[in-house]
Amino acid sequence: MFVFARSGASRLVLAVALASGAAVTLAAPAQAAKKQEAPAAPKVNYSKAFVGAYQPFSAKVNAGGDLAPLKAELAALHAAAQTPDDKFAAGQVTYNLGAKLKDMALQRQGVAMMIGSGSAQGAADRSKHLAAAAQLAYQDKDWTAARTFGEQAIAAGYTEGEQLIAETYFAQDQNAAGIDYLDKAIAKKVAAGQTVPDTWLKRGLAMAYEAKLAPQAAKFAAMYAQYYPSQTSWGDAIAIQRNFNNYEGQELLDLLRLAQRTNALRTERDYVDYIEAVDARRLPGETQRIIEAGVAANLLKPNDVYVAEARTVAAGRLNADLADLPKLARDARLPSATGATLSAAGDAFLSYQKPAEAEEFYKLALSKPGVDTARILTRLGIAQLDQGKTAEAEANFAKVEGARQAIARLWSLYASQGAKPVAAAQ
């Protein structure tokens, strides 16, 4: 998962869950190749000469011992193969010998012979044989052949080859190309109504982050949270935004509010940053809630100097701030109310979990000149979402432009996942 270090720079740390050295496991070549040891099936056509050459050779392979000398006998066996079934069986035994000798060239030759034999025996498993050829080529660092066989395997109906193809690009330090390939493969899965493997999303995210490809990292992080919503995926999606966009103050506050709602405040630094962004002098009620939540989660220490000071400031201002709310509401409802007054009223009521009033004041603020439209639209959407007005919230999130657009998109994604309304504060 992605987390923050407790330093001023707050850089992203890539944990084991998204490590870039992903293993590639597709078709097992042995399973794809070992269909039948001897050409004795009734529905096949073997030439007499090939049977005479094959049977003693296969017996030697199965007997074990020193198999290296058998490589010299392969040419004669291959020359004896005349029918498609002969060639398929010759490919099988060539692969098996290569597997026992750990000879990559022989294994690749054997699988290639099976694929090119034209035998009906291999037709049903053609996609698996192609996938085995792709994997062997990948292991042999023959990236072009791995991609070619991988594409052919997918075209033949194999359903697990896309990540191997992407890995061939990553192996050549062509991260953008590999990520683009995965992105298109994911789009095809989605269009077909199929499940997107989480390994694709995590791998694409890790490689995009490693290559400092901010738009791609944000996209894969959001897809990870979309298709596999959890504390981890949401935490990664939010951390990616923080690291590629130097959010501070009010922008950071709204991103951390989303983290709180998705249960993605997972480190001490997350809570400390939230306390700094919310500001105990401005929004004491929310500050108090976040401190209590952090202490309950054992991520904040009550006796920490910073935490204790923020708690004291919030407690000292809370009653007076609550007492001022009715007057703030009256002032905001005056025809002469300025955009600043209306925005402040919306912020106060949103912070005190009174989203209906917050919605009222944010809507009025949008009609005033000189207001921060992106910020008000974001918070109007949050206020509506907190009331269960999902469609209206999504519509307002979609209007957000500029630096806040990425934040609003994550809020919209959260809304689409059935965000629960916030209980109104008493």
Please name the residues in contact with 417: beta carbons below 8 A apart, sequence gap of 6 or more: 226, 229
Closest CA to 16 of 267, 183, 173, 202: 202
| The pLDDT value given to residue 144 | 96
| The pLDDT value given to residue 74 | 95
Which tokens sit at 415? 């809304």
Please name the residues in contact with 191: beta carbons below 8 A apart, sequence gap of 6 or more: none
Q: What are the DSSP E strand ranges found in 150-204?
A: none
98 or 420, greater pLDDT: 98
Q: What is the mean pLDDT of residues 390-406?
A: 96
| The pLDDT value given to residue 423 | 56
φ, ψ of residue 3 in degrees (nearest 5):
-135, 170
pLDDT in tens, 107-118: 999 999 999 999
Give the SS3 label for residue 419: coil
Q: What is the mean pLDDT of residues 148-160?
A: 91
Rounded CA separation 266/124 (Å): 50
Rounded CA separation 332/334 (Å): 6
Are 116 and 87 spatial neighbours (Cβ–Cβ below 8 Å)? yes
Q: What is the DSSP letter of 17?
A: G
The answer on pLDDT for 27 being more than 90 is no
**DSSP letter for each residue of 10-43:** --EEE-GGG-S--------HHHHH-S-SSS--TT
Q: What is the DSSP letter of 194?
A: P
| The pLDDT value given to residue 34 | 44
> Which amino acid type is present at position 360?
E
The answer on pLDDT for 36 being more than 50 is no
Q: Could you tell me the pLDDT band of residue 9, with boundaries at 50, 70 and 90? A: very low
| The pLDDT value given to residue 198 | 94
| The pLDDT value given to residue 44 | 85
C-alpha distances (whole Å) from 377 to each of 35, 262, 393, 399 are: 63, 20, 9, 7
Are 4 and 259 spatial neighbours (Cβ–Cβ below 8 Å)? no
C-alpha distances (whole Å) from 348 to each of 29, 325, 382 are: 64, 8, 13
Closest CA to 294 of 271, 278, 275: 271
- Mean pLDDT of the chain, nearest integer: 88
| The pLDDT value given to residue 83 | 95
pLDDT in tens, 285-329: 999 999 999 999 999 999 999 999 999 999 999 999 999 999 999
The answer on pLDDT for 120 being more than 90 is no
pLDDT in tens, 338-394: 999 999 999 999 999 999 999 999 999 999 999 999 999 999 999 999 999 999 999
Rounded CA separation 208/219 (Å): 10
pTM: 0.81
pLDDT in tens, 209-250: 999 999 999 999 999 999 999 999 999 999 999 999 989 899
Domain 333-426 bears CATH identifier 1.10.1300.10: no
The answer on pLDDT for 12 being more than 90 is no
Are 150 and 164 spatial neighbours (Cβ–Cβ below 8 Å)? yes
Are 10 and 247 spatial neighbours (Cβ–Cβ below 8 Å)? no
Q: What is the mean pLDDT of residues 2-28?
A: 33
Q: What is the mean pLDDT of residues 64-71?
A: 91
For the chain, domain boundaries: 29-154, 333-426
| The pLDDT value given to residue 42 | 43
CA count, 13 A, side-chain hemisphere, 88: 28
| The pLDDT value given to residue 122 | 80
Q: What percent of the chain has pLDDT over 90?
A: 82
Rounded CA separation 119/85 (Å): 5
The answer on pLDDT for 422 being more than 80 is no
The answer on pLDDT for 3 being more than 60 is no
> Which amino acid type is present at position 225?
A
C-alpha distances (whole Å) from 317 to each of 32, 320, 332 are: 72, 6, 21
Rounded CA separation 316/311 (Å): 9
